[in-house]
Structures are given as C-alpha cells and as structure tokens.
Structure 1
Amino acid sequence: MKRCTLSLRLGAVALGLVCSAVQAESLTLTQTLAAAERYSAELSANRNEVQALDAMADSARQLPDPKLKFGIENVPVQGNNDRRLTREGMTMQRVGIMQQYISAEKRDRKADTLLAEAQSVSAKSAVVRATLQRDTAQAWLDLALSEKAVQTARKLLEETERQQGAQRASVGAGSATPDSVLALRIGLSAMRDKVTLAERDVQLAQTRLMQLTGQSVTDIAGELPRYQRLPADEKTLEQGIAQHPDVVAAASAANSAKARSAASAIAAIPDVEVEVWYGRRAEGYEDMAGVMFTVDLPLFQSHRQDKDHAADVSRTMQANDQLALAGREHMAQLHSLIAEYNAAQTLWMRQRDEVLPLVRQRATLLAAQYRSGQSALPELLDARRNVLDSELAANQAEKEMARTWAAIRWLIPQELM
C-alpha cells in the first residue's frame, strides 16, 4: 500500500512538472498576438453582436407573423336572454386570421439600418483589435528588452563580485585599507538593487502578457522586429489614417445614421392590416363571415413623422462632423507619435553611441590604473556603477523607442500570418 501511495505521489509530481513546462512558454511576437486575439472576450462579444444584428436584418425583411383571433361576440347582458349564447341572433362564435402588411420598402430600410449598425459594431471590433495588438506587442517587447537589461546587470554585478577575493587579499597584504572591503560591499549592494529592479520589470512584462493572452509567457522566441526605424515613411503613415479603426468606426456610425434617416423618411407610408373572420351562430341562425381592413392614417405627419425624420437628418449631420473630427484627431495623434519616436530614437542612439562607449572606456582605464596602484577602489566602483546606470538608461531609452514604434505600427490592426 505504501509503495502504491508513493508511486501515485511521484506520478502526480511528474505530471505537475510536465504541466508547468507546457504552461510556461516561449512565444514569438506573431504567436503572442494570435494568443491575445483568441483570449480576448471583448473581440468575441463584438463578433457575437455582429452575428445578432445580421440575423435581425434577415428577419426584418419578412412580414410579421399572422395572428389568430377567436372569441364570442354580441352576448346579451340584460333581458330574458341575459348571458345566454343561443337565444340572440347576433351572438356568434367568431374565429379569424389577421395579417399585417408592411411595405417592402419600409422593411428593406429597417434591414439596411440593422446592417449599418452591424458594420458599425464590426468597425468597433477593429478598434479593439488594434488596441489589443498594440498592447500585446508593447508587452512582448518590454519582456525582450527587460530580459536583456537583466543579463547586462547580472554580468556587471558578477564582474564586480569577483573583485572581493582580490580586495581581501590586498587588505591582508597591507596594500589596501580595511575600509575598502566595506566600500566594495556597499557598491555591490547598490548594484544588486539595480538587478532587482531589472528583474521586477521582467516579471511585470510577464504578468501583462498573462493578462492579455491567458498564457504564461516566460520568455520570447524568434527575432525582434526592426523597431530602430519607423514602420513606413511619414507620407505613407498619413495616408493610412483613412484606414484607422476609429475613423472607420466613425464612418460606419455616419452610414448607420444615414440609414436611419432614410428609414424615417418613409415612415408616413401607412401599414395595412387585413382580417378575415368566420362567425358561427346558434341553430336556426345563419353563419356569417367578413373581412376587415385597418389602415394607418398619418393625419399629423408634420408634427410626428416629419419631426422624427428631421431629428434623424440632424443626427446624420452630427455623425459626419464626428467623422471629420476623428480624422483630424488621429492625424494629430500620428504626428505626436512620430515626434515622440524621433526623440526616443535620438536619445537611445546618443546613449548607445556616445555615453556608453565613454563610461566603458573610463571604467576600463580605471581598472587598469587600479591594478597598477594608480587609482583607488572607490573610483573604480563609481566607474562600474556608472557603466551599469548607463546600460540601464540605454535599455530604458530603447524600451521607449520600441513602445512608440509599436503604437505607430499598430495604429491599424494587422492580419496575422
């Protein structure tokens, strides 16, 4: 029994390890974007709403269901025949069918309105998709660059930690003062703080990816995109504003308002109801039949239907103004993002090409001087901390550039290969 229990426990542990290995994944950028779209409840809700509106549009083209009408008419309530069903000649059991006829034009206009609303919802789903792709790409790039920062910080920390043995030996030999060991430990503690903050950024990026994809993305796979330059030239990006999902959504809203206006323009066309009935009377009295027509009378069209149509026309004009406003706002947004990207790119290149080579060269020079006894340990530690700070500053500038690049790249949702 004990052996069986032990085997079961070992099997459970092994299964847990396998499951953890499966859940913890390294994904490429394309795989991560696809996982985010599959996981998004908002995208799924939009698709279901579009399907519902399409079904409603198909139903709107049909005539209403016929109605069955039945009952008893003309039952006496006074006199000798009070509440008797067979004494009065006018009393009869009546059954009939009623059908409402709505003009085909009105039904088509209503269906067109629902289809326009479906297109508007579909355009909003493109807004959601573009935002989702942008956020996912930014989180993926953050993870990639944060992992790079952790590796750099750990490498510099390890190089400094290797100095401890030599420093203690120097103190023992009398070539260095005892406080130099304390100075080294203080410097190492400060560098470990930098490593901890870099590791925190990795965990934050992993948490963000878990939120967006529902998967434990612990590492990135594949090549990084070429975020060191704009996705396209400025003129091409400006031309793409017309396909921006917010602009497309505003255009769909304008089309929906136009469709409602077209439907209200013919609201005064009267609907017709037709009722065919058969009445069965008591024995000795003839059965009866009849047909009835009910027609709408829009006698006050100027106070009702015309007012509704005028309101819809005003809403159409409002939607057109909002479309123009959306185009202007997103053109300004594009120019702002390009300005932010250019600034981030300049800062990153200056940090990479000017600052980092200088601080590295200074650290190398001070290390050589320290070995030859021409400089003190605090100066060397300060130089190495400067190298670490500059490396992390360059990494942060690179992150800002990559985030802004992703914001420009996914202004418009992209089809995944």
Structure 2
Amino acid sequence: ALPVQAAQVRAGLHRHADIAPFVAMRAMAQAELGEADAERRGDWAWELVYSRRGAQYGDMVSVQFSFDLPWQRGLRQQPQIVAKQRDVQRIEAEREETLRRHAEEAEAQLAELQALDAQRERLHTHGQPLSDERVALTLASYQAGRSDLAAVLAARRDAIETRLRLIELDAQRAALRIRLSTLIAE
C-alpha cells in the first residue's frame, strides 16, 4: 500500500495541476497591468535625420521631437488600470477558491481514509478472529453431534464474508491512497 502522510498531502496541494495555470495567468495579468500603468506616463522621442539628396538639391537635416500630451488622463487610462487590477484580483481569488476546494476534497479523503483504516483494523483484530473461532466451535459441536451441518456452513460463510469485507476495505483504502497521491504528484 502507498503510504500517505496527511501533512505531505496538505503541503503539496499548491502543486496540483488545477492550480498551475493560475501562476501564468497571474503573471500575464500583472504584465498587462504594468503596460496599462506605463501608458499613463507620457512617452517622448527624438529623431535626427540627415539626407543627402541629388546634385540639384542641397543636403537636408531634420530634427523631430515628439511627446504625448496626456489629456484627460483620468478618463482614459485610469479605468483601464482599475480593470487590470481587478483582473489580477479576480485571478488570485479564483486560485484561492480552487486551492480551497482541493483542500476540502483532500481533507474529506483523509478523513475517509482514517475511517477506513479504523474499520479495517477493528475487523482484522476483532471480527476475523471471532468468526474463525465461531467456525471452530460449530465444527467441534457438529463433530460431537450437538449441531447440524447447516450451522457449520453458516459459520464458514460468515468467516468468508468477513475475509471478503477485509479485502474490500483494503481495495477501498488503496484506491483512496492513489487518489490522495495524485493530489501531490509532481
């Protein structure tokens, strides 16, 4: 059986495949926010051009300066910045919600595993020895002539059902351990 440590499952939830896309989405939203913030500040440029023209014309030099005039900046850029900030917050909230949902799922599975472990232990330590003892007692009673064969067969059927229930519990525990292990797989 795969060993599952509750602390390891809880610590590994942030590596779950459903959480990984949020890192890239948040980085992209942060970049878009930075771009919107950069547009708020005016951009400027200068250009110097020298042109050698034909023999009939003289050489030409031109200088060009350009800069943005952020006219009504609050009406144009500020709503975009606020929208990008809300996108970042929305992505972070979705990430937290997904992480919380997976944490709840993991806690429920850990509780179910703990209950299955306790049930299996109780059945293994108390139920199986009692059913085996009942088979031995009814067989001895049948051999002594004090009971019929139906009682022996019923006791054996109950012992087999107890063993089958143990096998079923082991299968459920293994399936649950695998599901928990996939939560923290890298």
User: Are the counterparts in 2 of residues 245 and 412 from structure 1 also a CA contact under 8 Å?
Assistant: no
- Which residue in the other structure is 1:322 paired with? 94
Cα distance in 1 between the residues matched to 2:28 and 2:133: 65
Q: Deviations over 1:98-148 (max 9, x none)?
A: xxxxxxxxxxxxxxxxxxxxxxxxxxxxxxxxxxxxxxxxxxxxxxxxxxx
Deviations 1:18-71 (A, max 9, x none): xxxxxxxxxxxxxxxxxxxxxxxxxxxxxxxxxxxxxxxxxxxxxxxxxxxxxx
Query: Where do 1:16-415 residues align within 5 Å?
Result: 226-227=1-2, 230-232=3-5, 234-266=6-38, 302-414=74-186
Matched length: 161
CA–CA distance in 1 between the matches of 2:34 and 2:81?
Answer: 8
Code of the residue aligned with 1:336 in structure 2: it is A
The equivalent of 2:60 in structure 1 is: none
The question of whether the paired residues in 1 share the 8 Å contact of 2:9 and 2:183 is answered with: no
Superposed CA offset, 1:188-218 (max 9, x none): xxxxxxxxxxxxxxxxxxxxxxxxxxxxxxx
Q: Is the 8 A contact 1:247 1:327 kept in 2?
A: yes
Deviation at 1:345, TM superposition (A): 0.6
Q: Deviations over 1:321-367 (max 9, x none)?
A: 23333333333333322221111111111112211121122113322
Q: Counterpart of 1:153?
A: none
Paired letter, 1:240: G
Partner of 1:20: none
Q: Distance in 2 between matches of 1:249 and 1:361?
A: 57
The AA in structure 1 aligned to 2:123 is Q
TM-score normalised by length of structure 2: 0.70
Q: Which residue of 2 aligns with 1:122?
A: none
Aligned-pair distance for 1:301? 5.2
Shift of 1:300: 6.2
Partners of 2:70 and 2:171 in 1: CA distance: 66
Paired amino acid for 1:231 = V
Task: Return the letter of the residue paired with 2:115.
Answer: A
Partner of 2:65: none
How far apart are the structure 1 equivalents of 2:22 and 2:145?
72
**In 1, Cα distance between the equivalents of 2:171 and 2:69?**
68
Calculate the aligned-residue CA RMSD, in Å.
2.8
Amino acid across the alignment from 1:404: L
What is the CA–CA distance in structure 2 between the aligned matches of 1:249 and 1:357, rounded to whole Å?
Answer: 52
Corresponding residue number in structure 2 for 1:200: none
Query: Aligned partners of 2:37 and 2:142: how far apart in 1?
Result: 89
Q: Normalised by the size of structure 1, how large is the TM-score?
A: 0.34
Equivalent in the alignment of 2:63: none
Secondary structure of 2:145 counterpart: coil
Report the alpha carbon displacement of residue 238 of structure 1 after superposing the two structures with TM.
2.6
Q: Name which of structure 1's ranges 328-337 and 377-386 shifts more when overlaid on structure 2.
A: 328-337
Look up the SS of the partner of 1:245 in the other structure.
Answer: coil
Runs of 4+ off more than 6 Å: none
Residue by residue, what CA displacement relative to the aligned partner does 1:64-93 show, whole Å, maximum 9, x if unpaired? xxxxxxxxxxxxxxxxxxxxxxxxxxxxxx
For the residue of structure 2 that corresponds to 1:411, the secondary structure is helix
**How far apart in 2 are the matches of 1:355 and 1:300?**
81
Q: Following TM superposition, by how much is the alpha carbon of 1:246 offset from its aligned partner in structure 2, in angstroms? A: 2.9
CA contact 1:250–1:326 (8 Å) conserved in 2: no
Q: CA deviation at 1:302?
A: 4.1
Instruction: Give, in angstroms, the shift of residue 403 of structure 1.
Output: 1.8
Encode CA deviations 1:229-248: one digit per residue, 9 max, x unaligned: x423x333332233233333
Deviation at 1:297, TM superposition (A): 9.0
Structure 2 stretches lacking a partner, 5+ long: 44-67
User: What is the Cα deviation at residue 260 of structure 1?
Assistant: 2.5
Q: Distance in 1 between matches of 2:31 and 2:138?
A: 76
